[in-house]
Chain A
Amino acid sequence: MAGTGLAEAVRQAKGIEWKRLEFLEAIVYNVGPYFLLLLVWEGVRVFLQPDPRFVPDVREVIGELIYILKNGILVDYLSRSLLRIALAAGVAIPIGILIGFGIGLNEAIANTLLPLIRFFNSIPAIAWLPLFIIWLGFKDQTIILDASYGLFFPVVFNTIVGVQTVPRVFRDAVRTLGGSWWHVVTDVILPGSLPAVLIGIRTGFAYAWRGLIAAEMIVAANGLGYLIFKAQSMILADRIIAGMILIGLTWSFLDYFLLQPLEEGTIRRWGLVQR
């Protein structure tokens, strides 16, 4: 058919165009933003000429990154921060899920605990920090407790939502198959609420990471928060910026390689995403 030939021709022509466009687009959208950032940064330096001690050069920041990598500070501090957040997760996630399930499944538990949990959620972890310091001293435990506090609430709230939004029919279906209440919990509610729980964990991590950095500034003698806070008193702007970039990158890596795949893995695999 002549028409098909025409369609084929247009399709091919557009195909070539798309490929070239795609390549250009990839460059613009993946490299462009960071290039713009560097441009603004250098522009400020060249045109506004601020005190170089306060606004360092890009090269100085990279130099500082290499320096702290070589003398071992970077690896040491980074691993300490990561260990702390891992421990905080180990504390907060199981407790959060347990309480979330309790509230989601039992009305009496919900009536007693939910108002309290709502109230404590409105107090940011950082406000507790001074009290935690009195309790536990200037120690790792203080930081871990503070980070756990931030992680706990999103896990609880999302677990509740997860449990409550599992469609009723699924429960009824298992019951008509002869399943007991326990079957309903293990076969329906646990897997059904998992996507929401994972969203809660991811959100909680974002709060906990910020809380961790703040707590490390005030409490610690090491870790990424301490790195930038200490650098401030030594007027090492290049180290502060290097530290901020590290904090941002570490979070992005955690989120991109651990939390997002976890969340998407279950949700996508079960086709629970509508989009």
Chain B
Amino acid sequence: MEMGSQICVRNVTHFYTNRYTRETVLALKDVSFEVDQGEFVCIIGPSGCGKSTLLYLIAGLMKPTMGEIRVDDRPVTGPGPDRGMVFQEFAILPWRTVWRNISHGLEIQGVPREKRDEIVRRYIQLIGLEGFENKYPYELSGGMKQRVALARTLACNPKVVLMDEPFAALDVQTRITLRNELLKLSLQLSNTILFVTHSVDEAALLGDRVIVMTKRPGQVKEIVQNPIPRRERNERTLEDPAFIRYRNHLFQSVRAEVQTAEYEELVQRS
């Protein structure tokens, strides 16, 4: 049976107005792509290319100026628990303990106490947060905070998990650890994951497919299929010749965009 694609972005063009300068900026131009149920897709591009904007549009936190976004064949009209989001800034609440942060979404949806506790316990175990249940966020390292944010999102069991540069605020070592953990974790999950990053390595290792975006105004430059299936990807994949070719291709593709963006900025300044 042919499964319909889960996320469908069609001809999305988006302007936004800078609140302070009141300049209108074209952030996304005619962006179209589809993501299948259970797929792990990464979006990569130079900074300011509108890749985060795209995620906010799918989350329903903003409305596109033109074009259409459908999730499960229903148009997105606003944010909802079927599309969970993990933010770069962690965004877990400082006034809630780890446990209460993870259970927050379930509380909002009115899940009864016992069921809630059971789900929270499961995700605390799954993500390795045992012993931290009663800590407040300020007592945690950045990596732990982001684990809590991920657990909070997954606890609601959303159809789609949107991740907005979730590891960008972490140090390199933690970044690599979390990347590998997420890769392993994703094999146990059935959720569709859309992951925005500006790191080529992250995108290459995590994504089943990678969407490369152009510099602003962001357009889809190309969509590349990962030669290695997710089940077979691990630390050693990084040395696989096919994977290296694939990774280098992504790298060249993004670098070209970064360079033109920098060049244009130079011309504008002079």
Contacts and interface: CB of A to CB of B under 8 A. Distances in A.
A and B touch in the complex (CB under 8 A): yes
B30 interface: yes
A3 interface: yes
A3 B26 contact: yes
A15 B217 CA distance: 19
Given A3-B217, A10-B15, A18 B22 contact: yes
Contacts of B17: 14
Contacts of A139: none
A10 B217 CA distance: 14
B29 interface: yes
Contacts of B29: 3
Contacts of A11: 23-24
B30 A3 contact: yes
A212 B30 CA distance: 65
Contacts, number: 17
Contacts of A14: 17, 24
Contacts of B24: 7, 10-11, 14-15
Interface in B14-31: 15, 17, 22-24, 26, 29-30
Query: SS class of chain A's interface: helix, strand, loop or mixed?
Result: helix
A15 B15 CA distance: 13
Nearest to A22: B22
A175 B123 CA distance: 51
Given A14-B24, A18-B22, A7 B30 contact: no
Contacts of B30: 3
Nearest to A14: B24
B22 A7 contact: no
Contacts of A18: 22
Interface in A1-21: 3, 7, 10-11, 14-15, 18
Contacts of A7: 15, 24, 26, 217
A18 B20 CA distance: 12
A94 B26 CA distance: 54
A7 B17 CA distance: 12
B51 to A, nearest CB: 18
17 contacts: A3-B26, A3-B29, A3-B30, A3-B217, A7-B15, A7-B24, A7-B26, A7-B217, A10-B15, A10-B24, A10-B26, A11-B23, A11-B24, A14-B17, A14-B24, A15-B24, A18-B22
Interface of A: 3, 7, 10-11, 14-15, 18
4 nearest CB pairs, A to B: A7-B26, A11-B24, A14-B24, A3-B29
Interface of B: 15, 17, 22-24, 26, 29-30, 217
